[in-house]
């Protein structure tokens, strides 16, 4: 075969026209042939050639020997089918594809390729790695004749480099992609997706209470826990994306071609629920949780740094909310982060000045309307801003040890207030997970009871499922201490957090509180919540526990939870939380009954808002004020002369366009019904499932930077109206 290569060379020389030959020409050719044969014999190189159509026409004998029996069958095949490009992610330098170079008839210098060796009789086929050099050959007329080149086998060196490269990209503990690989993959993906106008979602995960497991069970247990977390994540995500570990207890999930926020929310919820189930570690059970932040390119960022910052911010918001949930990024989160820091400073000052107070909401028997107990709820009235919602300040307090001080204050005050109530009335006090597992919690409870003189059985401690995150042995010990003390225990928000039936069978609880998320909307057609309520009630009865339906506001909801067997009802249908003096006033006349009142039917959850958004009708864009928002509709102000039945598009900002119909109208206010319901954003708000891609805007000449809250930049509607506006634009006064 070596002679075949030389024959090919001679033919090329011959095609270049007759040459004058001197007496030494024959000796010179013989010398060159001998040198080429020596090069191959010494293992210094191998030789290859193609024809003008790019088919492999020659492999020298050493090359054929390297590839094994049957390698002659490679001759005649297109070169890119024989010589395959190496994986650019694994150690190889960036290089243009071999096919591109051949089509361009470029020089081939130090190009690394893979060639599949033929299967030997005693072994499987093996891939060989070669470093190619080659030059295009032309005749005197400039006609392309094919390639001639050499190759060196670098298999051992390349496999070593590949192994080193893989190790540098894999997390040693879990086997997942590490931070370096994740960053490279995200950068590469976003760069490619910008060119093809595709979307990509990024999830950031942080384990809740992992440090507690590490501290109480040891670092080896913590390592084993991380390995199990990795396996669960891979099982959930599967081929839909890439899971990696950034380090510590932080994980990341890259999800190409994902922008459906409904689907992403469902996936995030499955992740939260799966990672929150108990782990078996060296014969002991542990429960942790996770919080998830979600950002989507190109809406929330178009490069790796932007998207990562957005996902991090969403993760922080998720942890601030209560943990064990997910949150999508919005630009509002940037403002919220600075407001949270300011709120924390003010809250610390309020605690020092004893400005945190309690109000009491009754828990009522729905059959007799008789008050059985009150839940103590925190209230804060700021001197400048007025009443601040617990939903805003409690997460801030939870972020550091401030919740412990507030919790102890609430416990002492509630016990002191309840002593003045009838002996049959209990008082319920919320206890944070930080309080519960803090050493000496039993002594704090006992001291509050002793100082107030309240009988232990009249105090009920409401615990959320987050207390089970961590070492269950420690948690069980606290429960036993409290039971010996004689206080009652209630499991709050049942079914929404790190739910597991395992911790119910230990008999810790006297009461289960059905979370309001199962009550709200339970009377709507097709809702499965009634079945869930029935199942929880049946479970509680089987375990000898009372049930409380939380958040009941409408009369139809009250009728349903009464029918399904809830022992107690809590919600606005009976009463909001009231101050201690109002509680005493109710008892003063000897009455412990409350008459229910409320709307006859449940209305979809509405969020009160005062925000400037946009409304599109035909070829006009109007500025309006969004007053409230629900999954199925909204109320807006700012336009006059809008008739009922008008089809419009509500612009909620960031590409969120909602096809709507005006269903009621006053002089300057309109009620809209959405064609497609909104979905939950995971943090108490609503959002559209899909958004208009910024790439579509860019194609229309609108820069990506123009995107902003409430300012979908439909310049065509603003700059040149095709017809007279149908409605009157009012002065918004904002």
pLDDT digits (tens, 9 = 90+) for 408-419: 999 999 999 999
Based on the fold, state whether residues 150 and 180 are members of the same structural domain: no
| CB contact burial 44-70 (16+ within 10 A = b; e otherwise) | ebbbbbbbeebbbbbbbbbbbebbbee
**Half-sphere exposure of 160 toward its Cβ, with a 13 Å CA cutoff?**
4
Domain presence at residue 350: no
Domain presence at residue 21: yes
Q: Give the pLDDT mean for 21-48.
A: 63
**What pLDDT sits at residue 44?**
63
| Dist. CA 239–CA 226, nearest whole Å | 21
CATH classification at residue 188: 3.30.70.270
> Which tens digit of pLDDT belongs to each residue from 646-704?
999 898 887 788 999 999 998 889 999 999 999 887 667 888 998 877 666 555 554 44
**What pLDDT sits at residue 519?**
85
Q: Give the pLDDT mean for 284-310.
A: 91
Check: pTM over 0.95? Answer yes or no. no
Could you give phi then psi for residue 281, rounded to 5 degrees?
Answer: -130, 110
CB 126 within 8 A of CB 117: yes
**What pLDDT sits at residue 6?**
38
Based on the fold, state whether residues 129 and 77 are members of the same structural domain: yes
| Dist. CA 716–CA 374, nearest whole Å | 58
**What pLDDT sits at residue 27?**
57
Most confident of 167-171, 320-324, 634-638: 634-638
The burial of 93, by beta-carbon neighbours within 10 Å (0-12 exposed, 13-18 middle, 19 or more buried), is given as exposed
Q: Which of 162, 193, 217 is the last residue of a domain?
A: 162
Does residue 66 surpass a pLDDT of 70? yes
Secondary structure (3-state) at 26: helix
**What pLDDT sits at residue 129?**
87
Comparing 33 with 515, the larger pLDDT belongs to 515
Q: Give the pLDDT mean for 50-67.
A: 88
**What pLDDT sits at residue 457?**
96
Question: In angstroms, how far is CA 270 from the centroid of its own chain?
Answer: 10
Confidence of residue 569 (pLDDT cuts 50, 70, 90): very high
Comparing 302 with 86, the larger pLDDT belongs to 302
DSSP strands (E only) in 2-55 = 46-50
Secondary structure (3-state) at 630: strand
Domain presence at residue 345: no
Record the tokens describing residue 303, joined without a space. Answer: 């490069």
Distances in whole angstroms, Cα of residue 592 to Cα of each of 134, 363, 420, 568: 96, 11, 14, 14
CATH classification at residue 453: 3.20.20.450
109 CB contacts (<8 Å, ≥6 apart)? 133
Based on the fold, state whether residues 201 and 324 are members of the same structural domain: yes
Peptide bond into 274 cis (omega under 30): no
Least confident of 166-170, 189-193, 639-643: 166-170
**What pLDDT sits at residue 40?**
64
Domain presence at residue 340: no
Domain presence at residue 342: no
CB 581 within 8 A of CB 588: no
Helices (H), 564-655: 580-588
| Dist. CA 10–CA 31, nearest whole Å | 14
**What pLDDT sits at residue 383?**
77
Least confident of 392-406, 428-442, 545-559: 392-406
CB 269 within 8 A of CB 326: yes
Most confident of 88-102, 269-283, 319-333: 269-283
Q: Give the pLDDT mean for 355-381.
A: 95
Based on the fold, state whether residues 406 and 471 are members of the same structural domain: yes
Encode 179-196 in three state secondary structure: HHHHHHHHHHHHHHHHHH
**What pLDDT sits at residue 209?**
82
Question: In angstroms, how far is CA 633 from the centroid of its own chain?
Answer: 26
Helices (H), 257-389: 261-275, 304-321, 332-352
Record the tokens describing residue 53, joined without a space. Answer: 């159509």
Strand 242-247 relative to strand 200-208, pairing: unpaired
CB 556 within 8 A of CB 601: yes
| Dist. CA 489–CA 371, nearest whole Å | 18
Based on the fold, state whether residues 65 and 95 are members of the same structural domain: yes
Q: Give the pLDDT mean for 375-395.
A: 87
Based on the fold, state whether residues 203 and 122 are members of the same structural domain: no
Instruction: Please list the helix, strand and coil fractions of the chain in percent, rounded to the nearest 5, in that order.
Output: 40, 25, 35
Residue 542 sits at the vertex; the CA angle it makes with 541 and 545, to the nearest 5 degrees, is: 45
201 CB contacts (<8 Å, ≥6 apart)? 241, 254, 255, 258, 259, 264, 294, 295, 296, 297
**Residue appearing with tokens 């070492």:** 471
Q: Give the pLDDT mean for 214-225.
A: 88
| Dist. CA 298–CA 199, nearest whole Å | 6
**What pLDDT sits at residue 503?**
66
Radius of gyration of the chain (CA): 36
| Dist. CA 167–CA 177, nearest whole Å | 10
Residue 223 sits at the vertex; the CA angle it makes with 221 and 224, to the nearest 5 degrees, is: 65
Q: Give the pLDDT mean for 562-587.
A: 94
Based on the fold, state whether residues 55 and 193 are members of the same structural domain: no
Counting every residue written for the chain, the total comes to: 734
Does residue 143 surpass a pLDDT of 80? yes
Does residue 19 surpass a pLDDT of 50? no
Q: Which of 140, 162, 184 is the last residue of a domain?
A: 162
Q: Structural domain of residue 117, as residue ranges?
A: 2-162
Q: Give the pLDDT mean for 490-495.
A: 82
**Half-sphere exposure of 196 toward its Cβ, with a 13 Å CA cutoff?**
11
Record the tokens describing residue 462, joined without a space. Answer: 């409401």
Does residue 551 surpass a pLDDT of 60? yes
Q: Give the pLDDT mean for 51-62.
A: 90
Could you give phi then psi for residue 286, rounded to 5 degrees?
Answer: -140, 145
Based on the fold, state whether residues 690 and 720 are members of the same structural domain: yes
**What pLDDT sits at residue 81?**
85
Confidence of residue 246 (pLDDT cuts 50, 70, 90): very high
> Which tens digit of pLDDT belongs to each residue from 716-725?
444 544 577 8
Confidence of residue 380 (pLDDT cuts 50, 70, 90): very high
CATH classification at residue 151: 3.30.450.20
Write the Ramachandran bin of 682: left for phi over 0, alpha for psi from -120 to 50, otherwise beta.
Answer: left
Among residues 505, 504, 511, which one has the least CA distance to residue 490? 511
Domain presence at residue 598: no
Count CB-CB contacts under 10 A for residue 114. Answer: 18
Based on the fold, state whether residues 362 and 489 are members of the same structural domain: yes
Average pLDDT, the chain: 83
**What pLDDT sits at residue 500?**
53
Q: Give the pLDDT mean for 207-222.
A: 86
**What pLDDT sits at residue 104?**
87
Among residues 635, 685, 632, which one has the least CA distance to residue 659? 632
Does residue 177 surpass a pLDDT of 50? yes
Domain presence at residue 339: no
Domain count, the chain: 4
CB 679 within 8 A of CB 658: no
Q: Give the pLDDT mean for 479-507.
A: 78
CB 350 within 8 A of CB 334: no
Strand 144-153 relative to strand 200-208, pairing: unpaired
**What pLDDT sits at residue 29?**
57
| Dist. CA 58–CA 61, nearest whole Å | 9
Q: Which of 109, 140, 162 is the last residue of a domain?
A: 162
Strand 108-116 relative to strand 127-138, pairing: antiparallel
Domain presence at residue 335: no
Least confident of 52-56, 88-92, 313-317: 88-92
**What pLDDT sits at residue 144?**
94
Q: Give the pLDDT mean for 435-448.
A: 92
Does residue 358 surpass a pLDDT of 60? yes
Could you give phi then psi for residue 557, rounded to 5 degrees?
Answer: -65, -40
**What pLDDT sits at residue 732?**
77
Based on the fold, state whether residues 709 and 622 are members of the same structural domain: yes
Q: Give the pLDDT mean for 280-289.
A: 86
Does residue 165 surpass a pLDDT of 80? no
Based on the fold, state whether residues 74 and 120 are members of the same structural domain: yes
Based on the fold, state whether residues 564 and 692 are members of the same structural domain: no
**Half-sphere exposure of 22 toward its Cβ, with a 13 Å CA cutoff?**
2
**What pLDDT sits at residue 722?**
59
């Amino acid at each position: 075969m070596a002679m075949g290569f030389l024959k090919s060379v001679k033919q090329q020389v011959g095609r270049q026209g007759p040459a004058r030959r001197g007496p030494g020409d024959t000796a010179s050719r013989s010398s060159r042939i001998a040198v080429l044969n020596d090069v191959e014999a010494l293992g210094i190189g191998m030789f290859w050639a193609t024809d003008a159509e790019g088919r492999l026409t020659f492999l020298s004998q050493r090359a054929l020997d390297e590839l094994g029996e049957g390698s002659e069958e490679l001759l005649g095949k297109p070169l890119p089918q024989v010589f395959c490009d190496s994986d650019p992610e694994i150690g190889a330098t960036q290089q243009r594809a071999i096919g591109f170079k051949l089509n361009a008839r470029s020089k081939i210098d130090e190009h690394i390729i893979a060639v599949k060796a033929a299967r030997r009789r005693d072994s499987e086929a093996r891939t060989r790695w070669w470093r190619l050099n080659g030059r295009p050959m032309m005749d005197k007329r400039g006609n392309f004749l094919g390639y001639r080149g050499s190759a060196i086998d670098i298999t051992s060196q390349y496999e070593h480099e590949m192994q080193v490269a893989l190790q540098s990209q894999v997390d040693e503990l879990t086997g997942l992609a590490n931070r370096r690989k994740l960053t490279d993959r995200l950068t590469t993906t976003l760069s490619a997706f910008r060119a093809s106008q595709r979307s990509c979602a990024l999830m950031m995960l942080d384990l809740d209470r992992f440090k507690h497991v590490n501290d109480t069970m040891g670092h080896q247990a913590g390592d084993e826990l991380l390995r199990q977390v990795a396996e669960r994540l891979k099982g959930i995500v599967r081929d839909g994306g890439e899971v990696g570990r950034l380090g510590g207890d932080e994980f990341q999930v890259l999800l190409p071609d994902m922008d459906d926020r409904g689907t992403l929310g469902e996936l995030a919820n499955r992740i939260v629920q799966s990672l929150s189930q108990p782990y078996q570690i060296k014969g002991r059970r542990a429960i942790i949780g996770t919080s998830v932040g979600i950002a989507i390119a190109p809406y929330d960022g178009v490069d790796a740094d932007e998207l990562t910052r957005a996902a991090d911010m969403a993760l922080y918001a998720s942890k601030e909310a209560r943990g064990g949930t997910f949150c999508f990024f919005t630009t509002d989160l940037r403002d919220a982060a600075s407001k949270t820091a300011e709120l924390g400073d003010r809250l610390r000052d309020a605690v020092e000045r004893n400005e945190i107070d309690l109000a009491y909401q009754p828990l009522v028997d729905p059959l007799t309307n008789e008050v059985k107990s009150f839940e103590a709820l925190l209230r804060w009235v700021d001197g400048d801003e007025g009443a601040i919602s617990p939903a805003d300040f409690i997460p801030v307090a939870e972020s550091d040890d401030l919740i412990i001080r507030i919790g102890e204050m609430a416990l002492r005050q509630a016990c002191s207030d309840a002593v003045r109530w009838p002996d049959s009335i209990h008082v319920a006090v919320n206890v944070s997970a930080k309080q519960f597992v803090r050493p000496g919690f039993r002594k704090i409870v006992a001291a509050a009871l002793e100082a107030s003189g309240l009988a232990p059985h009249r105090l009920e401690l409401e615990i959320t499922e987050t207390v089970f995150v961590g070492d269950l042995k420690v948690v069980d010990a606290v429960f036993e201490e409290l039971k010996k003390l004689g206080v009652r225990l209630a499991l709050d928000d049942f079914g929404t957090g790190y739910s597991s039936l395992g911790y119910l069978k230990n008999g810790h609880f006297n009461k289960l509180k059905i979370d309001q998320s199962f009550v709200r909307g339970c009377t709507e057609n097709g809702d499965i919540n009634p079945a869930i309520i029935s199942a929880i009630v049946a479970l509680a009865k089987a375990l000898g526990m009372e049930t409380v339906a939380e958040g009941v506001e409408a009369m139809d909801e009250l009728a349903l939870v009464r029918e399904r067997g809830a022992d107690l009802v809590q919600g606005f249908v009976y009463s909001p939380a009231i101050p201690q003096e109002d509680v005493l006033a109710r008892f003063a006349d000897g009455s412990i009954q409350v008459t229910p009142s409320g709307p006859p039917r449940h209305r979809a959850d509405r969020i009160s808002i005062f925000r400037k958004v946009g409304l599109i009708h035909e070829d006009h864009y109007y500025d309006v004020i969004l007053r409230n928002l629900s999954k199925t509709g909204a109320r807006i102000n700012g336009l006059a002369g809008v008739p009922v039945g008008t089809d419009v598009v509500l612009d909620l900002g960031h590409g969120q366009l909602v096809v709507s119909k005006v269903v009621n109208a006053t002089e300057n206010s309109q009620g809209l019904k959405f064609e497609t319901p909104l979905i939950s954003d995971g943090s108490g708000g609503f959002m559209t499932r899909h958004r208009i891609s910024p790439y579509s805007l860019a194609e229309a000449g609108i820069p990506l930077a123009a995107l902003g809250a409430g300012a979908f930049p439909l310049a065509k509607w603003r700059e040149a109206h095709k017809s007279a506006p149908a409605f009157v634009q009012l002065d918004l006064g904002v």
